[in-house]
Amino acid sequence: MTPDAIPDLLAELDALVGLAPVKAGVERLVAIHQLNSVRVTAGKPIIAHDLDLMFTGDPGTGEDQVAALIGRLYAALGLLPAGQVVEVRRGDLVGATAEETQARVQAAVTAASGGVLFVDDAEQLIPLVPEDQGIVALAALAAAVDVRPVLFACIVSGPTDAIDAIAVHYPAFVYAHAAALEFPRYTADELVAIFERGAEALQIAVPKPVEAALLEHFVAVHDRGDFRSARYVPALLEEMYARLATRTMADGKADGNEHRRFAVADVPEPASAIAADTGIRIGFSGDLGVR
């Protein structure tokens, strides 16, 4: 990947729904590295900028998409030779023993060599009890970032409070924390736009009345549970597809062109927010079957 790819990659970033402050932060990051390259070539001093980053905010707000684009941008900028993104979570890093956990972290770092190691849902690594292997994983990850056994960039993502705590306890992440990108919650309008993209991929139309019903649905969800995650959208799309199927296949065969467009009747009523140990979650109507 060459510098010629940067405008297209930034256009791809800009095409994502919402995320205005994240887009501005990535563009700023690219500009810094581009200027540094120009000044190094001219023999001028620079302010070096680390490649590591931290993403803060609620889950399901596009972190994985942005991480993938940053990996490709780093490659296009000549900062990393490959730019692949290796995404890991607690289950990939934590083993039954300290030795196994350290080996898993080392394997993840090796796999990310030349690219980006993206640690998602990092809050799950914060130990709840002293013997939790998450603390071993965090320590091993911090050591790899500090020593850098191979060339790689590390992006750690999680809720703001958790990311702040990790940066406080592990100095290796202090610089990345200073360059953190805050992912804002999606608005109801943005969730409608995300839904419509999913429907477009299925070649199912979303008429204006359905769009209005969806907006009302998301507003109600927000009012009841302050929920903004795009992870809600695929479940809603799946439920509405099931309702579309039930409605249009009632006689055992597709009813004309009705299967090609959603109807207002396909939009479920949002259930009340449910308090859970891990925070507020939103369920749909009972027949959706998810909480």
Is there a single domain that holds both residue 73 and residue 148?
A: yes
Residues 194 and 244 in one domain: yes
Could you tell me if 55 and 155 are in contact, meaning their C-beta atoms sit under 8 angstroms apart? yes
CATH classification at residue 25: 3.40.50.300
* Residue after which a domain boundary falls, among 123, 152, 183: 183
pLDDT string in tens for the chain (291-residue length): 788 899 999 999 999 999 999 999 999 999 999 999 999 999 999 988 889 999 998 878 889 999 999 999 999 999 999 989 999 999 999 999 999 999 999 999 999 999 999 999 999 999 888 789 999 999 999 999 999 989 999 999 999 999 999 999 999 999 999 989 999 888 889 999 999 999 999 999 999 999 999 999 998 887 665 455 677 889 899 999 999 999 888 766 666 788 899 999 999 987 643 334 333 343 443 333 332
Phi, psi of 281 (to 5 degrees): -125, 160
- Can you name the residues that pair with 86 across neighbouring β-strands? 117
Question: What are the angstrom distances between the C-alpha of 211 and each of 32, 214, 223, 265?
Answer: 40, 5, 18, 12
Asked whether residue 175 falls in the same domain as residue 202, the answer is no
Are residue 272 and residue 192 in the same domain, yes or no?
Answer: yes
- The helix or strand, by DSSP H or E, that contains position 281, with its residue range, turns out to be strand 279-282
Quick one: 204 and 131 in the same domain? no
Does residue 132 sit in the same domain as residue 210? no
Can you tell me the distance from the alpha carbon of 16 to that of 1, in angstroms, rounded to the nearest whole number?
21
Residues 36 and 133 in one domain: yes
Range(s) of the domain holding residue 171? 3-183
**Boundary (domain end) residue, out of 139, 166, 183:** 183
